[in-house]
Structure 1
Amino acid sequence: MRDPGHDAGSSLQWLLPALVLLAVAGAYLLLVRRARRRNPAQGWSRWRTGWFLAGTVLLAVALLPPVAPFAHEDFRGHMAQHMLIGMYAPLAFVLAAPVTLLLRTLPAARGRQLTAVLRSPPARLIAHPAVALVLSTGSLAVLYFTPLYNTTMGNLAAHWLLHAHFLLSGCLFAYVIA
């Protein structure tokens, strides 16, 4: 397998994913702090915060060395990476309830707008268990039984988009099932 990031030739290729993961974890922790300040009696569950940080660590393990380079050299590493991105990290993120945290910290008007989007017919369609299953597992068939796999291995942007799809569809499926 060809590593799409190998052309960069340095460890800088791992810097952007690491920075993004740190920024996402930092944003979640800031929202936790805001939720605790807004309602000290209710606060925010330390378990949920722990789940979010665990999900971030699982993503870091999948996207950074030594697993990421191994995933491009060996099919076992490739499958381990996709299990971490598409199954384990999403489960941790769903248990962290980031949308609930966001709703607790948004002003009431913005919270109502977000709730309206989440309850809209398109959102309900996407969150249907059958649709979530097709997005999560059906995409694997499309990936491995079409030329898409070779395309994503030769194009760094396509490769990262594929990882984002696995993560988001995994989160959707874990949410629908849990």
Structure 2
Amino acid sequence: MDHGTMHTHPGVHHHGSGGPSAVLLPALALLVCAGGYLLLVRRARRRNPVRGWNPWRTAAFGTGLVLLAAALLPPVAGLAHRDFRGHMAQHMLIGMYAPLALVLGAPVTLLLRALPAPRARRLTALLHSGPARVLAHPATGLLLSTGSLVVLYFTPLYGTAMAHPAGHWLLHAHFLLSGCLFAYAVAGPDPAPARPGVRTRLVYLGCAIAVHAVVAQLMYGGFWVDIDAPVPEVQGGAMIMYYGGDIAELLLAAALVATWRPGRRVLPRPRSGRPATRPT
């Protein structure tokens, strides 16, 4: 296949690993997140001992933090600095797999249960605000998470971000936040007042699958990509995006279907005068 349009070079000019702080800071941040979540679980159980908190939610959130640790700590973090395939594996973990697990942990619901009633009401009002409704719509998450791939890999933005430690961390933050936003809008158990129906969300998920596939195929073929890495690395990264993205999106679809609860269909009133319902 002709790779004449691929803007790649023999060497990868990524910045260094950043020293011990590049390991200590993300590890500390993840520990703080884990401790904060467990503290909220404890408060929620104290406020409502009968209702408690689903341990599967805690396990899901913990799984998300473990996936983030795998992406941000050695050996994956070191590989991502010197090999585009490592970067793409890191991208998948931070932007697709970890967000789904974190969102399934229902952190907003947990916060609402742990907060005192007045603060919980203020948070609920915020969730119903106009800006929150826009953010909670799947179109916003799709544009920020999947749509940004075109800008990242088909312009000089990727090389610019990877050349500076701050840019690299901003890229991580974008992957994580946009991935969480899309997972929350499509299949999150937390309240989302503007979330459309299941069929509409499946359409947006299908669009994300299609865009991922097209971007990966263009990247593999070397068409219009602007990535400073050897051709085999770019092709390997494209394959990771293609197959890894498929698996992540299938998991997201499974989470979406699991949240679907078909409504009860009311049948015509029988002669006895009692309304009949069709079992679901």
TM-score band (shorter)?
Answer: over 0.9
Aligned counterparts, 1:23-172, within 5 A: 23-172=32-181
Cα deviation code 1:7-45 (max 9, x no counterpart): x4x333210010000001110011011111111111111
The normalised TM-score by structure 2 is: 0.61
Confirm or deny that 1:176 pairs with 2:185: yes
Q: Aligned partner of 1:153: which letter? A: M
User: For residue 4 of structure 1, what is the amino acid of its counterpart?
Assistant: H
Task: Kindly provide the amino acid, as one letter, of the partner of residue 140 in structure 2.
Answer: V
Provide the C-alpha distance between the structure 1 equivalents of 2:21 and 2:45, rounded to a whole number of angstroms.
36
CA contact (8 A) 1:5 1:13 kept: no
Give unmatched runs, 5+ long, in structure 1.
none
Query: How many percent identity over aligned positions?
Result: 71
**Which structure has the bigger radius of gyration?**
2
Secondary structure of the equivalent of 1:22? helix
Moved over 4 A (4+): none
Change (3 A) 1:5 1:42: farther
Task: Indicate the SS of the match to 1:44.
Answer: coil
Aligned partner of residue 53 in structure 2, secondary structure:
coil
Do the aligned residues in 1 keep the contact of 2:64 with 2:98 (CA within 8 Å)? yes
Contact 1:90 1:167 survives alignment (8 Å) = yes
**Alignment partners' CA distance in 2, 1:137 and 1:98:** 23
Equivalent residue number for residue 4 of structure 1 = 15
> In structure 2, what is the Cα distance between the partners aligned to 1:116 and 1:151?
40
Q: CA contact under 8 A between 1:55 and 1:88: conserved in structure 2?
A: yes
Rounded to whole Å, the distance in 1 between the matches of 2:126 and 2:48 is 25
User: Which range moves more in the overlay, 33-42 or 94-103?
Assistant: 33-42
TM-score (norm 1): 0.94
> Is the 2:16–2:81 Cα contact (8 Å) retained in structure 1?
no
Partner of 1:80, secondary structure, is: helix
Gaps of 5+ in 2: 1-11, 188-280
Letter in 2 for 1:129: P
CA contact (8 A) 2:61 2:105 kept: yes
| Higher helix content, 1 or 2 | 1
AA paired with 1:48? R
In the TM superposition, what is the alpha-carbon distance from 1:169 to its structure 2 partner?
Answer: 0.7
AA in 2 matched with 1:130: A
